[in-house]
């Protein structure tokens, strides 16, 4: 059976806690997006056949954990890598789902994500792949996730503690400046260890208040301005933890873009997704043209090349269909 898997990107607004002084570590907060995305078609095969080396590797690992021979995969769309849109997790899980669906078996994405080394810190990528929306995950017990994660097989993807559909009229302004990719792999691991070792626990207390009193109620009630303002504040507080590692509250050139967009009436809650360089803001479909123009002007004033997209939130998970 030939199948098609379509998964959207995700924004990572930030973590609830990075201090070892609190009982729970990490706890991701983020949003699923309709686009950009990754689209993969697959059919059963006696071995893994794919022209994309990264996806071929994921497919091989997926075949092993699913107990199947392999699959022939065709990659129709890919996410830009290491820019803050969750390309690693979305690509890995889309590959897993495609191999499983081609063999007509349950992918058990949440169970198998750790086998693909996904969902170790934040559960946002797995949660948005499953069901989209605005999501908050539970994080990990601090005594198990100190400055380094447990060995493979000794941890699970964090549970979802809150999820809300976002209004269909909302849009996210997505600015992708031409800049060095964000951190990943061993470099990201080293940076995160450094951040966790010196994280101020007081920041987590402020984030908890912000999440419970402002961000979650705004998401639940669909209040765009309040949601945007709270998301922006959440991101700034997270940036205080990362300042020494990324050269400021936001990594260059994201800071210049955020400053340029912060006072634009068509955009609320401007922030940096994950390690960047992706910058996002919240707007309404009726203001999409103004928001796009403001973002393009921000790129120009910052002297940075890049692209601007206006994208809808995604309130469902990855789509699996017959091509």
Per residue in 65-82, pLDDT tens? 999 999 999 999 999 999
Q: Please give the pLDDT value at position 148.
A: 66
194-202 mean pLDDT: 92
- The count of other CB atoms within 10 Å of the CB of residue 123 is 30
Average pLDDT, stretch 33-62? 98
Q: pLDDT at position 290, please?
A: 98
Neighbours of 296 (CB within 10 A): 14
Position 189 pLDDT exceeds 80: no
For the cut 90, the answer to whether the pLDDT of residue 311 exceeds it is yes
Give the pLDDT score at 149: 65
- What mean pLDDT do residues 193-207 have? 94
**Rounded-to-integer distance, Cα 42 and Cα 89, Å:** 18
Check whether 203 has a pLDDT greater than 90. yes
Residue 188 pLDDT > 90, yes or no?
A: no
- The predicted pLDDT at position 56 comes to 98
Closest CA to 205 of 17, 13, 12, 14: 17
Q: Roughly what angle, to the nearest 10 degrees, separates helices 224-246 and 185-198?
A: 100
Distance from C-alpha of 62 to C-alpha of 245, rounded to nearest angstrom: 34
| Dihedral of alpha carbons 210, 216, 219, 222, sign | negative
Give the 3-state secondary structure of residue 310.
Answer: strand
Q: What percent of the chain has a predicted confidence (pLDDT) above 90?
A: 86
Read off the pLDDT of residues 5-34 as tens digits, 9 standing for 90 and up.
999 999 999 999 999 999 999 999 999 999
The pLDDT assigned to 154 comes to 80
Tell me the pLDDT tens digit for each residue of 102-150.
999 999 999 999 999 999 899 999 999 999 999 999 999 998 876 666 6
Range in 163-177, 186-200, 220-234, 302-316 the model is least confident about: 186-200
> Which domains are delineated in the chain?
3-321 (3.30.230.120)
Q: Is the pLDDT of residue 151 over 80?
A: no
Q: Give the confidence band of 280 by pLDDT, cuts at 50, 70, 90.
A: very high
pLDDT at 187 over 90: no
């Amino acid at each position: 059976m030939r199948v098609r898997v379509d998964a959207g990107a995700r924004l990572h607004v930030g973590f609830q806690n990075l201090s070892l002084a609190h009982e729970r570590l990490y706890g991701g907060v983020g949003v699923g997006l309709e686009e950009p995305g990754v689209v993969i078609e697959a059919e059963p095969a006696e071995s893994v056949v794919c022209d994309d080396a990264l996806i071929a590797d994921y497919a091989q690992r997926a075949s092993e954990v699913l107990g199947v021979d392999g699959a022939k995969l065709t990659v129709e769309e890919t996410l830009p890598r290491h820019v803050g849109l969750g390309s690693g997790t979305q690509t890995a899980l889309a590959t897993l789902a495609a191999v499983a669906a081609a063999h007509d078996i349950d992918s058990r994405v949440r169970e198998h994500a750790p086998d693909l080394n996904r969902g170790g810190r934040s559960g946002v990528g797995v949660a948005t792949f499953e069901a989209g929306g605005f999501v908050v995950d539970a994080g990990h017990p601090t005594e198990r996730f100190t400055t380094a994660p447990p060995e493979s097989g000794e941890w699970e993807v964090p549970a979802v503690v809150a999820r809300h559909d976002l209004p269909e009229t909302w849009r996210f302004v997505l600015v992708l400046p031409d800049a060095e990719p964000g951190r990943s792999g061993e470099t990201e691991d080293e940076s995160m260890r450094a951040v966790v070792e010196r994280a101020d626990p007081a920041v987590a207390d402020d984030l908890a208040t912000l999440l419970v009193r402002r961000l979650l109620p705004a998401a639940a009630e669909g209040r765009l301005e309040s949601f945007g303002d709270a998301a922006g504040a959440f991101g700034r507080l997270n940036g205080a933890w990362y300042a020494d590692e990324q050269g400021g509250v936001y990594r260059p050139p994201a800071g210049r873009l955020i400053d340029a967009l912060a006072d634009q009436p068509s955009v609320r809650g401007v922030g940096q997704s994950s390690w960047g360089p992706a910058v996002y803001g919240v707007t309404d479909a009726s203001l999409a043209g103004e928001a796009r123009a403001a973002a393009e002007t921000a790129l120009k004033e910052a002297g940075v090349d890049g692209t601007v997209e206006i994208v809808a939130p995604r309130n469902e998970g990855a789509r699996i269909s017959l091509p």
